[in-house]
Amino acid sequence: MKLPYAEPYKIKSVEPIRKTTRSEREQLIEEASFNLFNLRAEKVFIDLLTDSGTGAMSQHQWAEIMLGDESYAGATSYFKLKNSVETILDMPYFLPTHQGRAAENVLFETLMGHNGDGKIVPGNSHFDTTKGHIEWRGAKAVDCTIDEAFDTTVDHPFKGNIDLAKLADVFEKTPREQIPIVILTITCNSSGGQPVSMENIKAVSKLCKDAGVTLFFDAARFAENAYFIKIREKGYENKTIKEIVLEMFSYVDGCTMSAKKDGIVNMGGLLAFRNEELFRKACTFNIMFEGYLTYGGLAGRDLGALSVGLCESTEFDYLEARCGQVAYLGAKCREYGIPVQEPFGGHAIFVDALKVFPHIPREQYPAQLLGVELYIEAGVRGVEIGTLLADRDPVTRQDRFPKLELLRLAIPRRVYTNSHMDYIAAGLANVLERASSIKSGFAVTWEAPIMRHFTVKLRRI
């Protein structure tokens, strides 16, 4: 008999969490204007809002917290992180930032400043902050993801792949000077935490090189992507995760990274380059926006913890347990008939809200409705990846309806047990059971002009 995976760690410290009553939750979510971001964390039983910065650090990372060198320039902790970036990612130049969106801000300021009019940035279902930085500068994000990604029932091993014909068409129709960069997100969060194959990475790289276009990874979940290449792509089953990561990064010109994901830290990010000239240009903006080049908005202790986290996240045993827990929740959901994106991704389970609420119009935000109902039912907090997140068209100011309307349940790293996964699935099943009795969703009462989903206020219709 093949032994099942078991977590490659044991629990040393625990944090108590408290259940609220259903009546309490009904009042709390109404007071929060039906925005799950507005809830106090202590009023959430299982928090799956994000896997960003919510993981549990190891004893070796906590040791680095105590060893942190807080020198303003040239701290020992910086050089520990520099060594990890060079060893694991094979990137000769890098800048630390306080998180991923800060790295994006520095990168896009370097590439296009505040005037991105007429420019386009192709990619595979850009993350919300990535798209926000692009559109804020007047540029346009063009989604080139394969069509299979937008059918939750299709069993495709690499739904994060870029459609090469779509990308080639963009290159053919757009002057080179209007394409500052292509962003390849690994794994692709917005399409359901789906990985990108090595074959696709190589092919996209060749298209970009032939067109003279810079290619960067959004590498927040690079290690999880490497894990799926190892277990799903022929020819990589006998390679180590670190070997696969090195090959992945050999095909790109650089990366942004929210290290709060596969860096397994509570705060941190980085921006890495192969090209020294581009690195030098970015240095000025990093100093302006983040801090000096060797700390970039982070304390020395955070730099040290990240240097260890990058190494730990590229260990197969860790990734097998990490992705295995996500798959465990996915399998439980499938048992209950809950419609989820398949195959299961690396960091989250994505529930298809259009299948849970086929009778709720898109204008009433069915994925947000599902998130609110799950909180009321079980005290579980997820996040909408749908029409609210897609935001309004910057020109027409009309809602944009994405191809998928999903509730994301992002699982923090090394935090919850499979008993918690059982509880989450049962809560979803209860919502599914009464879904037909829920007759309407929400209307917006207030929203920000961009990236509205973080602060939007809603009312029940």
Residue 102: the pLDDT is 93
Please count the other Cβ atoms lying within 10 Å of the Cβ belonging to residue 318: 21
CA 98, CA 433: separation in Å to the nearest integer? 43
Residue 90 half-sphere exposure, CB side, CA atoms within 13 Å? 12
Is there a cis peptide before residue 187, judged by omega within 30 degrees of 0? yes
- CATH fold group of domain 59-313: Aspartate Aminotransferase; domain 2 (3.40.640)
Residue 131: the pLDDT is 85
Mean pLDDT of 372-389: 95
Taking a C-beta distance cutoff of 8 angstroms, is the pair 106, 286 a contact? yes
Annotated catalytic residue: which of 149, 220, 282, 425?
A: 220
Is the model's pLDDT at 21 over the cut of 80? yes
Taking a C-beta distance cutoff of 8 angstroms, is the pair 381, 36 a contact? yes
Spell out the alpha helix ranges (H) of 87-197: 100-112, 128-136, 164-173
Taking a C-beta distance cutoff of 8 angstroms, is the pair 357, 440 a contact? no
Is the model's pLDDT at 445 over the cut of 90? yes
218 is catalytic: yes
Annotated catalytic residue: which of 127, 171, 236, 295?
A: 127
CA 168, CA 447: separation in Å to the nearest integer? 36
453 is catalytic: yes
Is the model's pLDDT at 390 over the cut of 80? no
Token pair, residue 405, equals: 């309307």
Taking a C-beta distance cutoff of 8 angstroms, is the pair 332, 422 a contact? yes
Q: In CATH, what class is 22-51+316-460?
A: alpha beta
Mean pLDDT of 72-76: 96
What's the whole-number average pLDDT of the chain? 94
CA 369, CA 392: separation in Å to the nearest integer? 19
Taking a C-beta distance cutoff of 8 angstroms, is the pair 383, 49 a contact? yes
Is the model's pLDDT at 95 over the cut of 90? yes
CA 402, CA 407: separation in Å to the nearest integer? 13
Dihedral sign (CA 47, 53, 58, 62)? negative
Give the percent of the chain with pLDDT over 90: 84
Q: Which residues pair with 352 in a beta bridge?
A: 406
Q: How far is CA 11 from the centre of its chain?
A: 26
Tell me the pTM. Answer: 0.94
Dihedral sign (CA 314, 316, 318, 320)? positive
Mean pLDDT of 168-194: 91
Among 440, 312, 388, CA closest to 9: 312
- pLDDT tens per residue across span 271-323: 999 999 999 999 999 999 999 999 999 999 999 999 999 999 999 999 999 99
Task: Point out the least confidently predicted range of 108-117, 195-204, 245-254, 447-456.
Answer: 108-117
Is the model's pLDDT at 73 over the cut of 90? yes
Taking a C-beta distance cutoff of 8 angstroms, is the pair 196, 186 a contact? yes
Pairing of strands 46-47, 380-381: parallel
Residue 4: the pLDDT is 79
Q: How far is CA 41 from CA 17, 28, 358, 395, in A?
A: 10, 11, 31, 36
Q: How far is CA 125 from CA 66, 179, 229, 370, in A?
A: 39, 17, 19, 22
261 is catalytic: yes
Annotated catalytic residue: which of 72, 210, 393, 422?
A: 72
Is the model's pLDDT at 5 over the cut of 80? no
Q: Examine domains 22-51+316-460 and 59-313 and report if their fold is the same.
A: no
CA 417, CA 323: separation in Å to the nearest integer? 13
Token pair, residue 367, equals: 């994925």
CA 94, CA 280: separation in Å to the nearest integer? 10
Please count the other Cβ atoms lying within 10 Å of the Cβ belonging to residue 429: 17
Is the model's pLDDT at 344 over the cut of 80? yes
Annotated catalytic residue: which of 69, 90, 128, 151?
A: 128
Sheet containing 348-352: order of strands: 348-352, 406-410, 383-385
Taking a C-beta distance cutoff of 8 angstroms, is the pair 455, 35 a contact? yes
CA 453, CA 387: separation in Å to the nearest integer? 9
- pLDDT tens per residue across span 393-422: 778 888 888 888 999 999 999 999 999 999
Helix axes 22-31, 366-378, angle to 10 degrees: 140
Is the model's pLDDT at 199 over the cut of 90? yes
Residue 185: the pLDDT is 95
Write the DSSP string, 292-331. STTTTT--HHHHHHHHHHHHHHT-HHHHHHHHHHHHHHHH
Annotated catalytic residue: which of 51, 143, 218, 391?
A: 218
Token pair, residue 51, equals: 């896997």
Q: Which helix (H) or strand (E) holds 349?
A: strand 348-352
Q: Which residues pair with 12 in a beta bridge?
A: none
Q: What residue segments make up the domains of the chain, in order of their start?
A: 22-51+316-460, 59-313
Annotated catalytic residue: which of 119, 126, 230, 261?
A: 261
